[in-house]
Homo-oligomer: A and B are copies of this chain.
Amino acid sequence: MDRVNIGLIGAGRIGRMHAEHLAFRVPGAHLLAVADVFVEAAEKCAASCQIPSAFQDYHRILDNPDIDAVVICSSTDTHAQIIEEAAAASKHIFCEKPIDFDLARIDRALTAVDRAGVKLQIGFNRRFDPSFKRARDLVAEGKIGQPHIVRITSRDPQPPPISYIKVSGGIFLDMTIHDFDMARYLVGDEVTEIFATGAVLVDPEIGKAGDVDTAVITLRYVSGAIGTIDNSRRAVYGYDQRVEVFGSAGAIMVSNNIRDSAVLSDAHGVHGALPLFFFVERYTEAYIAEMRAFVECVQQDKTPPVTGIDGRIPVVMGYAARKSYTENRPVKLSEID
């Protein structure tokens, strides 16, 4: 397949970002249509990204035989349903994370995908960040020997609105889920047990909404390696995204990407730039690369680099973390699944 015709479902913030990348930065991708329940959003997105059609009803996309693949950026509660329908319509699928918060629904969706033989890639974009990818590659090449300790720091510059927090599934399913994926990705190993601790230190409203805003999570891997993740909903200095893998023969550390490299030395100190503000800035290249990878998998009939199972496991980890936090004890993943 030379050109992949794509329909975009969901034209919110992340959908518009993908639209722009697919329109201008992903060779081989061709956006044929965009759908959004707010049809004005679809129309606006179509106008700015030269997409021929804009619909309110995504079934118009699924019904179009010219469309090879869909990119699902609608609200989380619609993901599983759309995956099933898209699979039934023989469309390849890129779906934003998470697939769903309900494991049974996830399993139904993955079964539908398997049965249809279409490709499904989940939007764990951070795997495509050049620095994290380089870290993973160095681990896979054995440059640090056997992994012993994985450290992930993941802090947002500011919390989302409380209205979002309430439907987010909680910090472990909303925010740590990315780090759970990273923890698996970096060392190519599975986690068996999780201990999560959390606190409300950023905003008491988050606590009233039943969530925490600060967390430290410990992971046990099958190999015996130990992981640790720390999260905060607000780092005043910007999006803090670092990882470290320590092993028998060395360690790899990934630091933040900064806004510019100008450093000012004055009588008071040496002053450098802050990290890039948030995910849109930090992960621009990663978002483009994940779309290129998806299009390439469709074109070349390859397995996507982030599969449906890769989308499912972090949800299990999120539940294990939540249970661990609630019960203040380590929880095995097998208790959830």
On A, residues with C-beta under 8 Å from B are: 23-25, 130-135, 138, 143-144, 146, 148-149, 151, 153, 155, 195, 197-202, 214-216, 218, 220, 224-228, 230, 232, 234-237, 240, 246, 248-274, 328-330
Contacts and interface: CB of A to CB of B under 8 A. Distances in A.
A151 B251 CA distance: 17
A29 B262 CA distance: 30
A199 B216 contact: no
A143 B264 contact: yes
A250 to B, nearest CB: 4
Contact of A236 (B131, B250, B330): B250
Q: How many copies does the complex hold?
A: 4
Contacts of A257: 261
A224 B199 contact: yes
Identify the 6 closest CB pairs spanning chains A and B, nearest first. Answer: A250-B266, A24-B24, A237-B265, A134-B262, A131-B260, A270-B272
Nearest to A135: B262
Contacts of A260: 130-131, 133-134, 254
B237 A148 contact: no
Contacts of A146: 201
B267 A249 contact: yes
22 contacts: A23-B24, A24-B24, A130-B259, A132-B262, A151-B230, A195-B330, A197-B218, A198-B226, A201-B248, A215-B226, A230-B246, A234-B248, A236-B249, A240-B251, A250-B265, A252-B264, A252-B265, A253-B265, A254-B263, A255-B261, A255-B263, A328-B330
Contacts of A225: 199, 201
A167 B230 CA distance: 34
A325 to B, nearest CB: 11
A272 B272 contact: yes
A226 B258 CA distance: 27
A195 B153 CA distance: 19
Contacts of A328: 330
Contact of A329 (B143, B214, B232, B330): B330
B248 A202 contact: yes
Contacts of A197: 195, 218, 220, 226, 330
Nearest to A238: B265
Contact of A253 (B216, B262, B269): B262
B267 A270 contact: no
A265 B274 contact: yes
A229 to B, nearest CB: 9
B237 A267 contact: yes
Contact of A138 (B256, B262, B274): B262
